[in-house]
Amino acid sequence: MTDDRRPPLKIEALEKHYGPVPVLRGLGFEVAPGERVALLGHNGAGKSTLIKLVLGLIRPSGGHIRVAGHAPGSAPARIATAYLPEQVAFHKALTGREQLTTFARLAGEAPSAVMPLLERVGLAHAADRRIGAYSKGMRQRLGLAQALLGRRRVALLDEPTSGLDPLSRHDLYAVIDEMSANGTAVLIASHALTEVEARTDRIAIMRDGALVADDTLPRLSRQAALPIRIRLTAAEGAADQLHAELGGQRVNGSAVELLCPADQKMAHLDRISALGETVRDVEMVPPSLEDLYRYFCGEDRQ
Ligand SMILES: Nc1ncnc2c1ncn2[C@@H]1O[C@H](COP(=O)(O)OP(=O)(O)O)[C@@H](O)[C@H]1O
Ligand SMILES: [Mg+2]
């Protein structure tokens, strides 16, 4: 039985050392029901280690983890947790349907749940083919179907779109949204920022085993106070004039780019509209997730 009043995932002062080498250093955070959190960090930052600790596959050197109020690796914690590993490994001799039926039994689901799930992830046509003949992308889809089984409080997805024949991001996010709508807390570990886009509720950034950011994208943007890029297209033959009036950088033949602090956006727009017909078009580009990531990983700080 799961306890719905307890947070799906709660981590406090988590430490992990391999011998003398610290891999996780005082990590703490919570994931609420239905919340989708992107866990970002370079290769080696400690994302997979964190997930293995939550699964109870390895033991922490210090701190606490509770999965729906239970100790990692305990029977109730395992029932409450869906896991999509970085490398999905299945029994090659079984068909997709047979493998998923085995998992369904373990998750306490009826075998009748299996075909709808295979349909859900686009594998119905291959249900009775052996997994040995599946492509990597098909195995990932099967992994996702397995993660959708049962009533999970937490889903841990480790680099869900890495690989040769990846799931399309669109399909993956449809499944993640479905989990979230059912109240499952979803943690998506990734080093590829384009995978998480802005379709998560919160961004947690790990660097060298510690959290360096943990908030919503708009709040992280405000905190970082990175400049907005204003891209102006000049009227025919007016690019030099525009550049002389506003400064910034000439781009191509007819464009000028300005970097402006977020709190000076309106003042800049006033100056730009005062230029009248010299300006043919204005585009405002807010800092990207990649800009923010570089900022919080300390690669961009002046
Ligand atoms: N079993 C292990 N023994 C020693 N060091 C390990 C072990 N597993 C992971 N590490 C080290 O821990 C660090 C974090 O690894 P990992 O959690 O896999 O990072 P990520 O998933 O963010 O790429 C890396 O420096 C890695 O080499
Ligand atoms: Mg990893």
106-122, pLDDT tens digit by residue?
888 899 999 999 999 88
Q: Where are the alpha helices (DSSP H) in the chain?
A: 47-55, 75-80, 96-106, 114-120, 136-147, 169-181, 193-196, 217-224, 239-246, 265-274, 289-296
Q: Are residues 147 and 275 in the same domain?
A: no
Instruction: Identify whether 42 is part of a domain.
Output: yes
The last residue of one of the domains, among 205, 222, 239, is 222
Smallest CA-to-CA distance from 41 within 214, 297, 218 is with 297
Last residue of a domain, one of 198, 222, 246: 222
Which ligand 1 atom is the nearest neighbour of the CA of 159? 21
CATH number at residue 184: 3.40.50.300
Ligand 1 pocket: which of 15, 49, 190 to mutate (most atoms within 8 A of CB): 49
Domain of residue 163 covers 9-222
Query: In this structure, which residue's CA is closest to atom 6 in ligand 1?
Result: 18
Give, as residue ranges, everything with CB less than 5 Å from ion ligand 2. Answer: 47-48
Tell me, yes or no, whether 168 and 240 share the same domain.
no
Which residues surround ligand 1 with Cβ inside 6 Å? 18, 23, 41, 43-49
Give a yes or no: residue 294 inside a domain.
no
pLDDT at position 32 is 97
Distance (angstroms) between ligand 1 centre and the Cα of 156 equals 17
How many other β-carbons are positioned within 10 Å of the β-carbon of residue 13? 13
Based on the structure, what is the number of domains in the chain? 2
**pTM given for the model:** 0.86
120 and 194 fall within a common domain: yes
Residues 70 and 106 placed together within one structural domain of the fold: yes
Note the pLDDT tens digit of each residue in 285-294.
888 888 899 9
* Ligand 2 centre distance from Cα of residue 50 (Å): 9
Q: How confident is the model at residue 2 (pLDDT cuts 50, 70, 90)?
A: very low
DSSP 299: S
Q: Please, are residues 257 and 229 in contact by the beta-carbon 8 Å criterion?
A: yes
Does any domain span residue 138?
yes
Confidence of residue 162 (pLDDT cuts 50, 70, 90): low
What's the pLDDT band for 253 if we cut at 50, 70, 90? Answer: confident
Same-domain check for residues 198 and 57:
yes
What integer pLDDT is reported at residue 163 of this predicted model?
A: 54
pLDDT for position 108:
82
- How far apart (Å, rounded) are the C-alpha atoms in residues 155 and 185? 6
Q: Is 167 inside a domain boundary? A: yes
